[in-house]
Amino acid sequence: MKKPVFLTAQWRKLVMANYKVNAEILEKYVPPNTQLDSYNGNYYVSLIGFMFLDTRIKGIKIPFHVNFEEVNLRFYVKYNDREVWKRGAVFISEVVSKPMIALVANTLFHEHYEVLKTKHCWEKHSDYQKVSYQWKKKNWYELSVLADINAKKIISGSEEEFITEHYFGYTKTGKNKSLEYDVEHKKWEIYNVKEFNVKTDFEDLYGKDFAFLNEAKPNSVFLVEGSEILIRDGKKVY
């Protein structure tokens, strides 16, 4: 039986910069009872910026917490639930500008939200679009793309599908305990990226384990249109 709906929103214009990493870097972040997931033998972390729109918690809009940017760093795991493999994401850190969102997510879902200043820019031109997300810690950082204006379907079995098609979130809640929550949305469409810019300090934001990404080039960068989404209440997995 499915858990009750906790949050509904639209996730729109997701910029995803994806880096191949060694499994050893991620192992200590893997929640209990899950294991690292890979695509063609490669492990990934993704730096993602996007917009939350029309956000409702338990069906209620919280004033000043309806539309806002999020920037996160995540990687990918799988969980064997009675011989059925579920593919999910684990978040190293999530940045928003809305304190209530961070408080609720950190308290109820054991996530790792940080409240920082954020902003975004969407521009649509005749033959391209620009999507940019900025957030400030020591300095203003930016994740942006120039992309086509026409979206296309994601190819089955592709790296794009592996990165985007994760319908569960997992977080560590204790020494041998994790929390699982469902994330439901339709299959997304993707835009071809012409140019991209990643201006950030991974060590400042995510610690020494990820400092090497400052010198790394993304394996791929996507712009995904997104859709309406819903997140269900979490449940413990053992």
Q: Rounded to whole angstroms, how far apart are CA atoms 17 and 210?
A: 14
- Give the residue among 212, 161, 223, 201 at the shortest CA–CA distance from 11: 223
What three-state secondary structure class fits 103? helix
Burial of 223 (0-12, 13-18, 19+ CB in 10 A): buried
Amino acid identity of residue 59, one-letter, is G
Written as tens digits, the pLDDT of the chain (238 aa) is 889 999 999 999 999 999 999 999 999 999 999 999 999 999 999 999 999 999 999 999 999 899 999 999 999 999 999 999 999 999 999 999 999 999 999 999 999 999 999 999 999 999 999 999 999 998 999 999 999 999 999 999 999 999 999 999 999 998 899 999 999 999 999 999 999 999 999 999 999 999 999 999 999 999 999 999 999 999 999 8
Return the pLDDT at 138: 87
Give the per-residue pLDDT at 119: 98
